[in-house]
Amino acid sequence: MRDDMADVLEWTVTGMDCGSCAGKVRQAVERLPGVEATEVALMTERLRLRLIPGTTSPERIEATVRAIGFGITPLTTVTSGKACGCETGKAHDHRDHHSHDLVASVAPLPALPRWYATAKARYLIATGALLGAAWGAKFLLPVAWAETAFLIACLAGLYPVARRAFALLRAGVPFTIESLMTVAASGAIAIGAAEEAAVVVFLFAVGEFLESLAADRARRGIRALSALLPETALLVHGDHTHFVPAASLRPGQTVRVRPGDRLPCDGRIVAGSAGLDESAMTGESLPVLRSTGDTVIAGSICTDAALDVEVTVAASDNTIARIARMVDEAESTRAPTQRFIEAFARVYTPLIFGTALLVALVPPLAFGGGWQDWTYRALTLLLVGCPCALVIAVPTAIASALSRGTRLGLLFKGGAALEAAATVTHVAMDKTGTLTEGAFTVTAIHPAETSAEKEVLLLAASVEQASSHPLARAILAEAAQHALSPLPARDARALPGIGAEAVVDGALIQVASLRHAEASLSPSLTDEAVRHGAASLVVVLRDGLAIGLIALQDRPRTEAADAVNDLRRLGINPIMLTGDNAAAAQDIAAQLSMEFKAGLLPNDKVTAVRALGLRGGVMMVGDGINDAPALKAATVGVAMGNGTDFALEAGHAAILRNDLLGIPAMIRLARETRRNILQNVTMALALKAIFLALSVTGGASLWMAILADTGATVLVTLNALRLQVWRGRAG
């Protein structure tokens, strides 16, 4: 089925507390006719899928999800009143998104209820009260009455679990914790162990409640994103201002940001100067002074003066929206270890059912064992064998790490990228704008014999006037210093890895790298090129003939040396990959004491990354369009926060704060997550092994079995939550 023949639908799904819950929703929904590409995001509580028209109705999907015990509502989003002929800001069902002009992609997440107001809290309180009443009856009433009280407590607590188990069975998901609990508790009642069955049901409720608390704790960092944008913006309209929904802002409009206000958009300051608190987005603890001409990001707080900001990016593409999309991508991209554990659990759970059946039948039939005794052991084995702790061992750790990374400005597009970052042995970095500040200055202009300095500079500025490349900005700044206004240009285009070109005064003017245009240099220009050594050189050509050279100089970032040394302490080999000339590359590499490869076109960078990949995992770090292919080819591609949209889309991760120290921090976080996962899996398997042995030998009771399972789940969850307070210690 072609993608354009299917509708993309989204819902908010509540009640999911672990990876197992998300798996149940996914399995139940993807079995419905016409449902494709099902994605369930646990932390953002989103269900996204493609639905072939004329097959399953959205209402049936919602009914299926509700039947297995989860809440579901269609995802609403803010639409443009102009596009749909309705009031601006009115909410619409996402099913109609094909007919609307969506201007916001960050739909607010539902508010988290108080712990005592959740369904699982009420379930825990009810089962606890019934169990307490039964124990009271045990001491105060006749035995028969007490047994009846325990039976009522067990059945009342088991009813919602059994109902969900049967709903999952009808949805094609038979082997679940609910089915294990239902069989075990029902069996315990059948052999006269109603008191233990009631305790088991209560302990199950405790485990469910603790999982719910842990999941809510892990979600807080993600949910904070939706609070970073104000709901309204103060739009400057002629000589007055008025409030409009922030989601309705469009490029070209101007908004006024008062002291204490959050910026409602990405933009450029057109009037004013103020300190901006960007800590929520970049991790920078102190306000940063921004003034006219500076770019600013949505979610920053204006601290001390009013600013007029021109909107440069639509609400659906601002910094916060892009982070939200990356979080969604991260949620839907499961790590290899997680996929393995989930596949293992699909085999493991039926195996436990089969083993429990053998334990119940074989000893009595073959060796004359007591039916009640071996049935009890089989039921205990069922509860011990529950794979909850094992199933949540990986996703809980990864969700915590992704949440923590997001708060630190270290964004991974999924568990797969996070796991891969822990295995890298080489970090390849672009030079200009990544290792260096990208703040070039023109140091010299050398015209050919038939040209003049101002002519060379003017034509170069005319070609580069629409570019944001660091070299282009330096050329334009130099032209401005000489009071040269760029000439009108047409058919301007970037030449990745080469330079740029445009038609100026009827001639094709190119601003190209020395490597690309070296053959066109006259002997005198060749001599000048050799003399400049480490400087970055660009050649200005008119209709293919070199009319001059422009020399520019850059310098390493202040934190570059520390970042490179930090990588070495982690046992990682840093290397520079640049399209610049060898002399300029060697100058920067010498200052940072690192290897380098120079004169590389985009395809050459891809080749270099793949060659490094033969010796281990490779992280590629870059910020430009020419870096995008290498970012895609690397084990982990990391885009710098000030990079192009193309680089951000191509990368597997991004450093929002424009700081190279984020690279070793990313690797440390990934390695700490890998250790956490190993600890979780080890704890889960060790406890399972011990209590499985005890259950078969008769050394464990039903309540001990469920307590062991709940205990393993709690230990794994608490261990994973440690990542939420990770502070980047060396590892």
Q: Which of 593, 43, 541 is nearest to 332 (CA)?
A: 43
Residue pair 463/501 in contact by the 8 Å Cβ criterion: yes
Active-site residue, from 430, 566, 587, 623: 430
Strands (E) located in 339-423: 410-412
Integer Cα distance of 439 and 458 in angstroms: 20
Residue pair 259/303 in contact by the 8 Å Cβ criterion: yes
Query: Coil, strand or helix: which one is 138?
Result: helix
Residue pair 24/120 in contact by the 8 Å Cβ criterion: no
Residue pair 471/442 in contact by the 8 Å Cβ criterion: no
430 is catalytic: yes
The CA dihedral of 35, 331, 111, 212, to the nearest 10 degrees, is: 100
Integer Cα distance of 242 and 253 in angstroms: 12
Numbers of helices and strands, H then E, in the chain? 24, 28
Phi/psi zone of residue 497: left (φ > 0), alpha (ψ -120 to 50 degrees), beta?
A: left
Alpha-helical runs (H) found in 72-193: 81-84, 119-140, 143-170, 177-190
User: Cβ-count burial of 490 within 10 angstroms (0-12 exposed, 13-18 middle, 19+ buried)?
Assistant: exposed
DSSP per-residue string spanning 472-505: HHHHHHHHHHTTPPPPPEEEEEEETTTEEEEEET
β-strand pairing of 295-296 with 267-271: antiparallel
* Residues acting as catalytic residues: 430
